[in-house]
Amino acid sequence: MQTREVLEQLVEGKISIEEAEKFFKKEPIENMGFARLDLHREVRSGFPEVIFCQNKPDEFLIEIFKKLVEKDKRALGTRASEHQAELILSELPNAQYDKVSRILKVDPMDRELKGNVCVCSAGTADLFVAEEAAQTAEYFGAGVTRVYDVGVSGLHRLLAEVDTIRKATCVIAVAGMEGALASVIGGLVENPVIAVPTSVGYGANMKGLSALLTMINSCANGIAVVNIDNGYGAGYMAAQINRLAVRGYE
Domain ranges of the chain: 3-106, 114-249
Quick check: helix, strand or coil at residue 106? strand
pTM over 0.75: yes
Check: CB of residue 162 under 8 Å from CB of residue 168. Answer: no
* Tens-digit pLDDT string for the chain (250 aa): 566 777 878 888 888 887 776 766 565 766 666 776 667 666 677 777 889 999 999 999 999 998 888 888 889 999 999 999 999 999 999 999 999 999 999 988 777 899 999 999 999 999 999 999 999 999 999 999 999 999 998 899 999 999 999 999 999 999 999 999 999 999 999 999 999 999 999 999 999 999 999 999 999 999 999 999 999 999 999 999 999 988 865 5
Is the CB of residue 92 less than 8 Å from the CB of residue 65? yes
User: In 10 A of CB 151, how many CB atoms?
Assistant: 24
Question: Residue 140's pLDDT is what?
Answer: 93
User: Cβ distance 23 to 6 under 8 Å?
Assistant: yes
Residue type, 77: G
Cβ proximity of 205 and 176 under 8 Å: yes
Dist. CA 194–CA 177, nearest whole Å: 17
Fold that domain 114-249 belongs to in CATH: Rossmann fold (3.40.50)
Q: Specify the pLDDT at position 40.
A: 63
Is residue 243 within 8 Å of 141, Cβ to Cβ? yes
